[in-house]
Amino acid sequence: MKIYLTLHCEEQDLEGHDIFTVKLLNAEGTEIPCTIEHSAFEYVEDPAEPEPDPEPKTEVKGWSNLDTVEKVVADLEATLIEDDLKALRRMEEKDLMGLHFSLGMFIRNHYGLWGDNKALKEDCNAIMATEKDPDLGHPDGMSTIIMKRLHKKLLEK
């Protein structure tokens, strides 16, 4: 049985340390009741800053060659684990909005929809315009288009 551990930080103690809420979820996303009697974690100060590299490196963004919805969908299909792909395949399209703050956020952040991946944003907007999508031009709508295309591709298999 696979379980998933989620950590959520809502507050800090008097010394400024984060206090986390821990939840265990089964593969269907249902919370598993549990009690944590003590913490196995210790607070560790951040290590000293590492020495900078003598020669600065050029940053290469992971999405630099992913400039169309089709390419991003293929990348997601290759990147996501099989269990996640199976879960997506079992979903109905209307339920994809439930992934807005998980897969949707990953898509928006990882593929430059909030940033400067202009070619991908243009491709998303072209699709959204043909579908008369009210979120035209917004990264939230763009990530939804990508999730819908991924979902459709998975259902075709």
**Residue-wise pLDDT tens digits, 100-142:** 999 999 999 999 999 889 999 999 999 999 999 888 999 999 9
**Residue 64 domain-assigned (yes or no):** no
**Residue 102 domain-assigned (yes or no):** yes
What is the DSSP-derived secondary structure letter of residue 66? Answer: -
**Residue-wise pLDDT tens digits, 5-33:** 565 666 666 666 666 566 666 777 777 76
**Residue 59 domain-assigned (yes or no):** no
Same structural domain, 20 and 84: no
| Domains: count for the chain | 2
129: domain range?
A: 69-155
Tokens 């944590």 sit at which residue? Answer: 36
**Residue 45 domain-assigned (yes or no):** no
Same structural domain, 127 and 74: yes
Same structural domain, 90 and 143: yes
pTM for this prediction:
0.61
Same structural domain, 75 and 144: yes
Q: Which of 102, 103, 140 is nearest to 121 (CA)?
A: 140
Angle at Cα 149 formed by Cα 119 and Cα 70, nearest 5°? Answer: 40
As a whole number, the mean pLDDT across the chain is 79
